[in-house]
């Protein structure tokens, strides 16, 4: 679905944004100014044609005609070659500058975007953000390569043409300027209304495409609910609306075309009539009138096109503003752990003291209030509780995907804020319930845990995760493509790929968030065996709804409404007859 870039009024803030964009263009500014020189040259050459042709018509006498004909033919040939060469170099230089500038801008935006905290992505839809960046970058590309050049070219032709017309005949120029602008202004407003209808049609087409996309993606739901005819009728309504808008647009385009023909040719006829009267009085030569008419057509076309170009410039300002707004978001303080091999080691002890937290976009919902708990090093700690108790939020805080509203999280004796963020996350690994795999190969997905790992390390991790055997059964083995989000693999296979990835990372703190809850019995056994290997010698934090998977945990923490309400082993917690853990256990056992 195409995202329409909004127009922005040309303001001081918009011009400041252009100065920021100039920062990316600055290394190539010489090429750009040379391109402008070639633009001016090609525009000037195009203005020379009407004058030269008029001079040719003004030649009197056969002998003088033959002499001047050769001379003017040579001059016209030279002008043609110059214009062609200047146009070529102008386009090449502008494209080179635009592509290099946008390559730098794309890289800067992506680098900044990927370092932004989770609270930013919580406020923005990723699909919308991606579409916005794509549309804005395309708008900038079109403007830098074509629109700005076209804007300058039309300004040069209008000013240069009017200047030459004044030199040729001041009286006729004033007459032309009194007639032509009114026609062009009316044509501009007419065209603006037609563009609105065209945008409406584009929007309706996008909506109809959304229906097709949604119904085909959810075809199983459509069929199981027998809604085929409902969807056909829904799509039919959109298609008919598109047709009605298109027909209305066609009528207006026809009227606009008729108006433009009448207005343009009427203006030219009026100019020719006035020019003929000046010729009859001896104030104007035939060739000068011919040149004058061609210049008039040039100027009319440029004035007409200027409104469209101005609209593109407004869109360009809007696109620039939207893109540069991203740089106003504060990014996380990250460092490349592969460039800095000496990371700040942690022992695995975690202490949470007086922790308060609420999500940035839901400040009225308090998740934690003065939470205090300890997770011992090199032991398995399970966290349980009903839905909404704050289990997954606690994991996000440990990974510093979000920062506490108040209170502190300590790793060993250090406040988490004293440990470089990349160093902290480098020593932690998360195996979630909903595994995300990239669309590449199995080798690439496991290797994501350690970018500089060799193939032998990756295969060893796969063996430890009980993934090696099923990988070797694929025809492409480790080169097998997993498909978008890993859809070519089963749930158990995806889990074991994720465990292999975590093993390869060799974390000090391992977090398992419902890692086996959605698996069948056979897959669960294989995954659990792999997890048992992964948990050896590490601080392991296990979030589980199925209490049968955490009976062997060294300690179980029970959360309820953001508070720690119970602590103990499985046996100890069962002795508390009124405890939440015992109630949850009895409910699951009964089920």
**For 171-194, how does the pLDDT look when each residue is reduced to its tens digit (9 = 90+)?**
777 877 776 666 666 666 766 676
Provide the pLDDT for residue 528.
Answer: 74
Provide the pLDDT for residue 115.
Answer: 83
Q: What distance in Å separates the CA atoms of residue 500 and residue 41, rounded to the nearest whole number?
A: 64
**Banded pLDDT at 545 (limits 50, 70, 90):** confident
Provide the pLDDT for residue 67.
Answer: 63
**For 349-382, how does the pLDDT look when each residue is reduced to its tens digit (9 = 90+)?**
889 889 888 887 777 778 888 888 888 888 888 8
Provide the pLDDT for residue 6.
Answer: 47
Provide the pLDDT for residue 191.
Answer: 66
Mean pLDDT of 394-413: 87
Residue 346 has pLDDT above 70, yes or no: yes
**Three-class SS state of 395:** helix
Lowest mean pLDDT among 52-66, 231-245, 453-467: 52-66
Residue 315, token pair as written in the block: 């869109």
pTM of the model: 0.67
Q: What is the largest CA-CA distance in the chain?
A: 123
Residue 233 has pLDDT above 80, yes or no: yes
The 10 Å Cβ neighbour count of residue 176 is: 25
Provide the pLDDT for residue 19.
Answer: 67
All structural domains of the chain with their residue ranges: 12-328, 350-590
Residue 441, token pair as written in the block: 């190969």
More confident residue, 511 or 322: 511
**Banded pLDDT at 482 (limits 50, 70, 90):** confident
User: Under 8 Å CB-to-CB from 570, ≥6 apart: which residues?
Assistant: 547, 550, 551, 552, 553, 556
**Banded pLDDT at 519 (limits 50, 70, 90):** low
Residue 518 has pLDDT above 60, yes or no: no
| In contact, 284 and 275? CB cutoff 8 Å | yes
What number of CA atoms fall less than 13 Å from residue 488's CA on the CB side? Answer: 15
Mean pLDDT of 413-436: 83
* Beta strand 428-431 pairing with 406-411: unpaired
Q: Tokens 């500038």 label which residue? A: 101
User: Under 8 Å CB-to-CB from 498, ≥6 apart: which residues?
Assistant: 431, 432, 435, 437
Residue 12 has pLDDT above 60, yes or no: no
DSSP state of 406: E
Q: What distance in Å separates the CA atoms of residue 152 and residue 302, rounded to the nearest whole number?
A: 11
Q: Which helix or strand (DSSP H or E) is residue 162 part of?
A: helix 148-168
**Banded pLDDT at 16 (limits 50, 70, 90):** low
The candidate with the shortest Cα–Cα distance to 43, out of 165, 149, 177, is 149
Q: What distance in Å separates the CA atoms of residue 501 and residue 437, rounded to the nearest whole number?
A: 10
Mapping DSSP onto H, E and C, the string for 172-207 reads HHHHHHHHHHHHHHHHHHHHHHHHHHHHHHHHHHHH
More confident residue, 511 or 67: 511
| In contact, 360 and 369? CB cutoff 8 Å | no
Torsion of CA 455, 456, 457, 459, to 10 degrees: 90
Residue range 350-590 in CATH 3.40.50.1100: no
Provide the pLDDT for residue 188.
Answer: 66
Mean per-residue pLDDT of the chain: 77
Q: What distance in Å separates the CA atoms of residue 48 and residue 402, rounded to the nearest whole number?
A: 65
Tell me whether residue 281 is exposed, middle or buried, using C-beta atoms within 10 angstroms of its C-beta: 0 to 12, 13 to 18, 19 or more: exposed
Q: What percent of the chain has pLDDT above 70?
A: 80
**Banded pLDDT at 339 (limits 50, 70, 90):** low
Q: Which helix or strand (DSSP H or E) is residue 373 part of?
A: strand 368-375
Q: What distance in Å separates the CA atoms of residue 584 and residue 562, rounded to the nearest whole number?
A: 17
Rounded to 5 degrees, what are φ and ψ at 481?
-75, 130
| In contact, 399 and 312? CB cutoff 8 Å | no
Q: Which CATH architecture group holds 12-328?
A: Up-down Bundle (1.20)
The candidate with the shortest Cα–Cα distance to 468, out of 533, 512, 537, is 533
Residue 244, token pair as written in the block: 């009605």
């Amino acid at each position: 679905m195409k995202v329409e870039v909004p127009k922005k009024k040309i303001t001081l803030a918009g011009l400041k944004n252009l100065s920021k964009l100039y920062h990316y263009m600055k290394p190539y500014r010489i090429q750009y100014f040379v391109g402008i020189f070639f633009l001016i040259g090609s525009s000037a050459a195009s203005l020379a044609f009407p004058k030269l042709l008029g001079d040719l018509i003004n030649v009197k006498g056969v002998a003088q005609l033959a002499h001047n004909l050769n001379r003017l033919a040579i001059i016209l040939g030279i002008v043609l070659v110059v214009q062609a060469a200047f146009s070529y170099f102008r386009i090449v230089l502008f494209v080179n500058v635009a592509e290099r500038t946008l390559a730098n801008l794309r890289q800067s935006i992506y680098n900044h975007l990927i370092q932004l905290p989770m609270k930013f992505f919580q406020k923005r839809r990723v699909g919308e953000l991606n579409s916005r960046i794509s549309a804005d970058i395309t708008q900038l590309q079109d403007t830098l390569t074509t629109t700005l050049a076209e804007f300058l070219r039309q300004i040069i032709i209008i000013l240069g043409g009017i200047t030459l017309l004044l030199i040729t005949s001041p009286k006729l120029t004033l007459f032309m300027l009194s007639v032509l602008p009114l026609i062009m202004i009316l044509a501009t407003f007419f065209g603006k209304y037609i563009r609105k209808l065209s945008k409406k049609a584009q929007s309706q087409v996008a909506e109809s495409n959304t229906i097709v996309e949604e119904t085909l993606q959810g075809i199983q739901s459509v069929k199981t609910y027998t809604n085929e005819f409902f969807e056909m009728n829904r799509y039919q309504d959109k298609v008919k609306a598109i047709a009605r808008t298109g027909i209305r647009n066609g009528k207006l385009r026809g009227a606009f075309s008729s108006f433009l023909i009448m207005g343009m040719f009427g203006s030219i006829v009026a100019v020719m009539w006035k020019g003929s009267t000046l010729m009859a009085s001896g104030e104007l030569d035939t060739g000068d009138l011919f040149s004058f008419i061609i210049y008039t057509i040039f100027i009319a076309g440029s004035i007409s096109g200027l409104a469209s170009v101005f609209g593109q410039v407004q869109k360009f300002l809007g696109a620039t503003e939207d893109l540069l707004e991203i740089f106003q978001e504060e990014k996380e303080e990250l460092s490349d752990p592969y460039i800095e091999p000496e990371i700040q080691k942690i022992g695995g002890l975690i202490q949470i003291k007086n922790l308060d937290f609420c999500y940035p976009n839901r400040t009225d919902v308090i998740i934690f209030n003065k939470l205090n708990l300890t997770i011992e090093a090199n032991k398995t700690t399970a966290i349980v509780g009903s839905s909404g108790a704050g289990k997954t939020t606690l994991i996000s805080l440990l990974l510093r995907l979000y920062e506490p509203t108040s209170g502190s999280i300590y790793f060993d004796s250090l406040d988490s804020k004293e440990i470089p963020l990349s160093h902290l996350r480098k020593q932690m690994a998360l195996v979630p319930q909903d595994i995300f795999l990239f669309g590449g190969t199995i080798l690439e997905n496991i290797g994501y845990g350690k970018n500089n790992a060799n193939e032998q390390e990756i295969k060893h991790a796969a063996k430890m995760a009980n993934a090696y055997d099923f990988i070797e059964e694929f025809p492409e083995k480790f080169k097998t493509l997993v498909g978008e989000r890993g859809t070519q693999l089963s749930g158990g296979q995806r889990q074991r790929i994720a465990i292999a990835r975590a093993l390869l990372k060799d974390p000090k703190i391992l977090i398992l968030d419902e890692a086996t809850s959605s698996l069948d019995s056979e897959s669960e056994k294989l995954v659990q065996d792999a997890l048992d290997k992964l948990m050896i010698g590490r601080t392991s934090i296990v979030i589980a709804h199925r209490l049968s998977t955490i009976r062997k945990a060294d300690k179980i923490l029970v959360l309820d409404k953001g508070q720690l309400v119970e602590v103990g082993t499985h046996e100890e917690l069962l002795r508390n007859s009124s405890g939440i853990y015992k109630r949850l256990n009895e409910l699951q056992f009964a089920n």
